[in-house]
Structures are given as C-alpha cells and as structure tokens.
Amino acid sequence: MERASSIFDRLPIPRRGSGFRRLIHKLSYLSEEQQQIIVDAYELGLVAHEGQRRHSGEPYITHPIAVASILAELHLDHQTIAAAILHDVIEDTPVDKEQIAQQFGNEIAELVDGVSKLDQLNFTSRAEVQVASFRKMMLAMVEDIRVILVKLADRIHNMQTLESLSPDKRRRIAIETLEIYAPIANRLGMNTLKTELEDYGFLYAYPFRYRVLDKALRRAQGNQRQIVKRISDRLRRALRADKITGSVMGRKKHLYSIYRKMRVKTRPLSEVADVFGFRLIVDNVDQCYRALGTVHQLYKPMPGRFKDYIAIPRVNGYQSLHTTLVGPNGIPIEVQIRTHDMDRVAEKGIASHWQYKDQDTEKQPPQDRAREWLASINEMESAANSEEFMEHVKVDLFPDKVYVFTPKGDILRLPRGATCVDFAYAVHTDVGNKCVAAKIERRRMPLRTPLKNGQTIEIVTGKGAHPKPSWLSFVVTAKARYSIRQHLKNLRSGEATNLGKKLLDQAMRELGSSLRKISRNRLKVLLDDLDLSNVTELYEQLGLGERLAPIVARVLVKAPRDDLAGSDSMEPITIAGTEGVVVSYGRCCHPIPGDSIMGYLSAGRGIVIHRDICGNLSEFRKQPSKWIAVNWEQNIEQDFSVEINVEAINKPGALAEVAAMIGDAGSNIEQVSLDEQHGESIDLIFTTLVRDRTHLSNVIRGIRRMSGVSRVTRTCA
C-alpha cells in the first residue's frame, strides 16, 4: 500500500482525482513499475479528454477511471488497466493508435484499438455501424481475450450511469446488453459481471416489470430471512457432524433470473420466488461429494434434479454440484456444492486466475473453454458481411445443455436442439461437409434428429457428399450454419460463372461476334469501367442476373443499342436440369421437360424457368430485356416437381387411395394438402415428382381411372 501511495503522490496536486486515488489503492498487487505505466496512461487520458463531459455532466475522465477500477477488482494485468484508461482516446480525441504505441508499446495500443468503435463515415446507418463495430471487437478478442474484458467493464459503467440518457436510448442500450454483453460474460464464466449486466439491462429495458418484481420480492424478504437462517444452521450442523470443513450461505435472489424463469417455464412469481438457494463451499472435490451425501440424508432429493458439473463442466468452465431438495413444509431448496477454487471460477470466470500467456501446463478450465470458443469465432472471420457474422456469434453465445459422446468416448457439448449435422460439424468441418448418415446408439437415424444427453453419435461420411441447402432449416450451431453457407456460396459462385459465360457468349453471337474476337485490352477497359478485378467476377454477376448479358455484349462490340431490340431469333440456352442453384424453377407453374418454357433473369437468383402459359409472365413481359430464350435438353434424367389437383368423392381412405396410385405410377409425393370440401366431394392438391410430360400423363391417366375421382388437372398460376 505504501508503494501505491508513493506513486500517487508524484502526480501534481490539481490532477489528483478521488476516482483515480481509489483506483491506485486497488493496484497493490502490481509492481511499482507497472503502476507507473498506469499513472502515465492516466496523465495522457486526462489531457486528451480535457474539456469533454459525459451526459451526466461529469468530466469524461471519470468514465475510463471507473472502467479501470472494475478491472482492478478482478486483479487484471497492468496492460489491461492502462488500456481501460485509454480505451476512448482513439475514438473521441486527436490521439491515434501510433501515438499510444510509441508511448506504451504495441500491446496496449492493440488493446485500445480493439475496443474502439469503427469510423462511422463508411456506413449508411446506425445499425450497420454497431454491427460492424461488434464484429471488429469480436475479432480483436480472438487475438487478445482482454479486449472483451475491457468492453464488458465499459458496458457495466455505462449501465450504471444510464439514467442520464433518454428513455428510448436507455431501452436500446439495455436490450443490446441483455442480448449480447451479458451472454458474452456468461460464456466467459464471469457470473459477477453477467449478473450486474442482466439486472441493469432488466431495469432499463422493462422498468415497470422490474419495479413490480422488486417490490414483490422485498415484501417477501422478511419471512424468507428466518427460513434461510434456520436451514443454513441445520446444514452447518450436519457438515460438522460428518467432519466436513466448509461454509454455508444463502444465495441472494437474482431478479432477472427470476423473471426469465417465469417467462420460460410460464410459472407465477410465487412458485419461482419461493425456491430457496444455498451454496456450500468446501476444501476439495472429495468433500463436495461427501457434502452431497450429507444434504441428501438431511433433506429428501427431488428426482431428476441433480446435475454434476464437476465431472462434466459447463462450456464456460463452470464446475459445481447442483441438487434440489424438499425442505421444511415442502419448500424446494436449491443447493450448489463446490470448492473455493470452483467458486472463484464461477464468479470471475476467465479472470479468476489471470494467467495471460502463462506457460504453466496446469489445466485452466475457463481459459480452455474461452479459447475453444474463440477458435470457433476465428473460423467465421471470412463471413460475407458483418450482419451475418453477428448472427453466427449470437447463435453461439448461449450456454450448452446437451452432452453427447463420440464413438471413442470423447464428450462434445452442444446447444439444446442440436442435431446430428451439428454434431458432425463439431467434430470437424470436413466431417460435416461429407456426412451422409448418422447412427445414434448404433441405430440409423435421420440427420435432422435432435440429440439428447448421454447419447453416442457416429457419423457416416461419403467421398462425393456435400452439404444440402435444406440443412440450414434445422441446424442450430453457428459453426454448422456458417460452414454450410460457405460451401453453398462457393458452389453457387462456380455455377453462376459458367452460366454467365454462356449467356455472354450467346449475346455476342447474336451480334455476329464472340468472346474470342474481343481483345484483352478491350475487355480490360470494360472491367475497369465496371470496377471489377477480373472477368470471372463479370461472368458471376451475369449468371446471377446482376448485369444483363445483351447490354454487356453491346458494350464489348460497340454495337448500337437497337441491334437486339427487334431480334426474335435469340439462340436459346439449353437447360439440362443439373445447373444447380443458379437455375431455378417457378413454384407458380412447376415447369417440367416437354413444357414450352422461357427464362427470366432475376437479380441474385440467376435464371428462373417458367412455363410460357404461366400467369405471372404478364408482369415479366414489361421487362423484355430480362427474357432469356431457353429449351430443354434431350433425355434429361432428373425428377421435377409438379402440382396436381384431384377432385374426388369425400369418403374415408380417399387420400390414401390416390396417394397409392401416384406411387404405383413411379412418382414420389413431396407434399399433399386439402384445398376445400364442397358437398360430397373434396379437392386434394399433390406436389409430386415426375421426369417429364410423358411421365406426368401416365400419373394423371392412372388417377382418372379410379372410381371415386371426378376430375384431375395440372395446376398453373
């Protein structure tokens, strides 16, 4: 304490703020040289923020000092404390990253830059700025976990002083805190910070609900105190009788957790608030399990309410035994049993034993869990945009609830609702991309099957297999969702490039030219004009419908704009049915091989094929430049969806009889629905798979022969 005081005394008298005085007195765990760096950071921050004030009217420097004080209570290193003091200077003052690096070194400069928000000049909306800033912060956190610790402390102090803002701003910031920052604190195992963030977020996001709950709980506290004391005394006596050294404390009610339980479990306040919580802190793991036996002898345990997070820790490194007992007069008693080290980890998480870059090989559960999570975030760095990146991270922020095993006995932690595909991607990205089937407890199960605790999962892979777009409808983990989307994007890009080249070549031939006749210089001039780096990008945009091939062709050959206007002899593109995601088929008219068709160039979707009698074409005809002449390739071996309307007698088994006839005709039913019932008849709509018009005719002919069927038609918009 003397060293800290001597450092502080070196500051000029007018610069001695009471907030900084309290901060310095918290830093006795640092060396004098490290404290001096923090004093120097304070000096720079004081000068840089001079004249700036917060919404509350206080000098701005009080904010970074408060942030640093929160981190000092967690005993973080001097670089983190210095970065906390300087965390707003890059954003709000003329001081830049290079100046900080020159005075304090690159490590502190990178920390400050990681916390700073992005320059808002390049964005079009507040939401875009916030999402991009969040992405930058998370990726900086991958490089150095201390970035998020500074940000969490920054958010806590902002929440503590939120009263000075308008109600709309308070609510927006509070909801962001509940959705993003509190879950991050929870994922890092920092229960103390998480609880504070949640309670402040609850207060300002839902002020009326907060006041009602708070008032109701305060009213019940008087009676609860007596019950808690009586149960605590009995638990202490039982531990002493079994010669177990430990402390017992009644756990304080966490307001937001009570509110969340009421919503999720749809229970009234009386049922949630009347659950009493106790924490037993003992010396070692052996005593944890002995204490569990003691409390189970004292009060009867509730079946199915025991959880062993010591043997299988939570994803954030949290360890404890949880059990629920039937207390006096049937009152539920929730008991947590853990060691002193486990308790420290539970409250402070990754900051509990701060060993940044420590070479000690001893296992550090919070650090290990955090780095596993950060590694998964790093895989998402190449996400196409900040909104997509934020979606991935938010999906992954919430704690897991399902523990499953690999065939080798390794445990994987997955979110509740995770499927076999999520499991496959958790094992490895290549396993997920190539999975074709799954076995749960040695039984073949669909890939979309949700997993349950304790199951053993085996993934079957195939050499030529690849992700299916339909997987996106049921996967829940960020890694699986991101990996599937990346594969589909790459696949789509290649298909779009091939289609775009075909479209441009066709348009060039209509002008009496071809791509081979265009000089490299002419092509380069066009790419420069369109701000494209290479011809592949041009082909991709043409294939996706973002540019029109006839217009690009005219530019390349410098042809007059009228050359194609009256042309009715455009060479059609041949559709083979294997073009993938850049050629799709209208759900309004369900074209199949043999139909007379046309293509419509849709921006972002490529070519959409319609029957030429489709009712929606009247709208498309207003944009003739987007029409594409298309025809079917001969001998297509692929199934296409078609919709059939069947009017039949309304009798038991009518649907089953028609479905059986469709199956007998070699067609598979994708979907069936009941359109309407009128009198004694019923309209059934089948979406079924056929190869071509001949196959469809056979299906319709077979249905018409049925005795209870009065009419069969193919539907079209």
**Active site members:** 91-92
581 vs 490, 524, 630, CA distance in Å? Answer: 11, 29, 17
Q: Where are the alpha helices (DSSP H) in 333-384?
A: 340-348, 365-379
Q: Which residues contact 81 (CB under 8 A, 6 or more apart)?
A: 23, 27, 30, 38, 41, 68, 71, 72
341 Cβ partners below 8 Å, 6+ apart?
none
CA–CA gap between residue 249 and residue 231 (Å, rounded): 10
* DSSP H or E stretch at residue 414: strand 411-414
User: Strand pairing of 332-339 and 276-282?
Assistant: parallel
Neighbour tally for 69: CB within 10 Å: 21
**CB count, 10 Å around CB of 671?**
10
Round to whole Å and give the CA distance between 603 and 101.
47
The whole-angstrom separation of Cα 554 and Cα 564 is 9
Closest CA to 289 of 324, 244, 349, 332: 244
* 656 token code pair: 């089953």
How far is it, in rounded angstroms, from Cα 404 to Cα 588? 43
Q: In this structure, which amino acid lies at residue 449? A: T
Cα 497 to its chain centre, rounded Å, is: 30
Cα-based distances in Å from 617 to 77, 268, 484, 599:
67, 56, 33, 10
Nearest to 134 by CA among 393, 312, 469: 393
**Angle at CA of residue 325, ends 322 and 327, nearest 5°:** 140
Beta-bridge mates of residue 627: 600
Q: Are 380 and 393 in contact (CB under 8 A)?
A: yes
Parallel, antiparallel, or unpaired: how do β-strands 630-632 and 573-575 relate? Answer: parallel
Buried b / exposed e along 609-627 (16+ C-beta atoms within 10 A)? bbbeebebbeebeeeeebb
Quickly list DSSP for 286-342.
HHHHHHHHHHHHHSEEPTT--EETTTS--TT----EEEEEE-GGG-EEEEEEEEHHH
Say if CB 689 and CB 641 are below 8 A apart: yes
Q: Cα dist. 695→237, 594, 691, 702, 715 in Å?
A: 82, 10, 6, 11, 16
Reduced to 3 states, what is the DSSP secondary structure of residue 439? strand
Cα distances (Å, whole numbers) of residue 697 to 35, 360, 578, 690, 692 = 86, 74, 23, 10, 9
